Chain A
């Protein structure tokens, strides 16, 4: 995955901004984070600043886990 230097992992980033109950790459992020319009906006901003891609509602609909989100971000680069 193309990332800027010294970036934190998507899990660390998400955890730092959204106070999930617990989070690993297989966590269902829409369950461990209170999933609403503000939190999806926060996640989009974090992902854009770190990876330079802007996810949209459809991308979140197509993803269940953080690992799914990482796949979507990776595909945006290929």
Chain B
């Protein structure tokens, strides 16, 4: 049934680079190209990092802020999972490095999960179930991305992808309402969004073509079909299964894929605009960070009271996951801005 009980979300924090990239100021884009992008894709600015400030650094800032605000001593955290597709290095898992940087105990379990758009929901299920099964009192889920796999020359992809890092605190609690999950993976369509030469199968070994294939590519037709048909019908079945509807769910927090696609999905699911928050305009598509970033920037005040959230992550994989969360008194920190060091 994909239910996790006895674990609650206690707090959420998000960190972004201070540096803004205003889409309208991109010199290598034509005026009409920028106008169309802002109007339809819905991103007018995004936060942008450099190689000196990685997803792990942004997650670290979010985690430090969150631990402090919750009053959690670092040595009380027993699980640390980082979801990212831009780790500091392939080996070792960046989460292990962060165990040390956050001064967590050496008895803390730590590893990375390689997921993108669906990653926060998957991460929540992994951290929650590990904590429950192993009796770990407190855990941290970090999700973050910097656009290192995005080619600046790619006018479709580059302006869309933003940088952010988030931290979500979970703790065992007998009173916690159950979290209901639904998952979906379709490796048959893995090439819909992929970075062909980013791993061992087609290891980039020089040459401009190999270099170019290092970057992520997207098949827009396949992605659109996936979102409008597969994701929408999967969410419908999830809602039916749990008797969730547009009345009894307070907010539908979706991965911020692209405003055009998200709006089409919202209309198909008949979700009212006021229940469908967006952060894409200011931050772009921040992959696995997009759901917690949207909660922090758009729903922060409401999170202090009881809320029913339907969160859905969908995209690269192709992969998706939804969670129905009844939350209470989630501590949501104001957005943290991190200075971008000089290169």
B241: chain A residues at CB < 8 Å are none
The answer on a CB contact under 8 Å between A49 and B40 is no
The answer on a CB contact under 8 Å between A41 and B225 is no
Number of residues of chain B lying within 8 A (CB) of chain A? 18
The answer on a CB contact under 8 Å between B40 and A42 is yes
Contact pattern, B 22-40, Cβ under 8 Å of A = 1, otherwise 0:
0000000000110011001
A-binding segment of B47-55, B259-267, B303-311: B259-267
The answer on a CB contact under 8 Å between B224 and A38 is no
Chain B nearest CB: distance from A27 CB in Å? 18
Given contacts A38-B37, A39-B36, A41-B224, are A54 and B264 in contact (CB under 8 A)?
A: no
What's the count of A-B pairs with C-beta under 8 Å?
43
Please, which residue of chain B has its CB at the minimum distance from the CB of A45?
B264
Which of B33, B260, B268 sits near A41, CB closer than 8 Å?
B260
The answer on a CB contact under 8 Å between B41 and A48 is no
The answer on a CB contact under 8 Å between B220 and A48 is no
Please, which residue of chain A has its CB at the minimum distance from the CB of B224?
A44
The answer on a CB contact under 8 Å between A38 and B36 is yes
The answer on a CB contact under 8 Å between A54 and B36 is no
Interface set, chain A 6-63, CB cutoff 8 A to B = 17, 34, 36-42, 44-45, 48-49, 54, 56-57
Chain A nearest CB: distance from B26 CB in Å? 14
Tell me if B156 is interfacial: C-beta within 8 Å of chain A: yes
The answer on a CB contact under 8 Å between B40 and A54 is no
B225: chain A residues at CB < 8 Å are 54, 56
A48: chain B residues at CB < 8 Å are 224, 228, 264
The answer on a CB contact under 8 Å between A54 and B32 is no
The answer on a CB contact under 8 Å between A54 and B224 is yes
Tell me if B221 is interfacial: C-beta within 8 Å of chain A: yes
The answer on a CB contact under 8 Å between B224 and A45 is yes
A37: chain B residues at CB < 8 Å are 156, 220
A45: chain B residues at CB < 8 Å are 224, 228, 260-261, 264
Most B CB contacts (10 A, CB to CB) among A17, A36, A45 go to A45
Tell me if B269 is interfacial: C-beta within 8 Å of chain A: no
The answer on a CB contact under 8 Å between B264 and A38 is no
A54 to B222, CA, bound (A): 10
A47 to B341, CA, bound (A): 46
Tell me if B229 is interfacial: C-beta within 8 Å of chain A: yes
Chain A nearest CB: distance from B13 CB in Å? 33
**23 contacting pairs across A/B (C-beta < 8 A):** A34-B36, A36-B33, A36-B36, A37-B220, A38-B33, A38-B37, A38-B40, A41-B40, A41-B220, A41-B260, A41-B261, A42-B40, A44-B221, A44-B224, A45-B224, A45-B264, A48-B264, A49-B264, A49-B267, A54-B225, A54-B228, A56-B221, A57-B221
B residues within 8 Å of A by Cβ? 32-33, 36-37, 40-41, 156, 220-221, 224-225, 228-229, 260-261, 264, 267-268
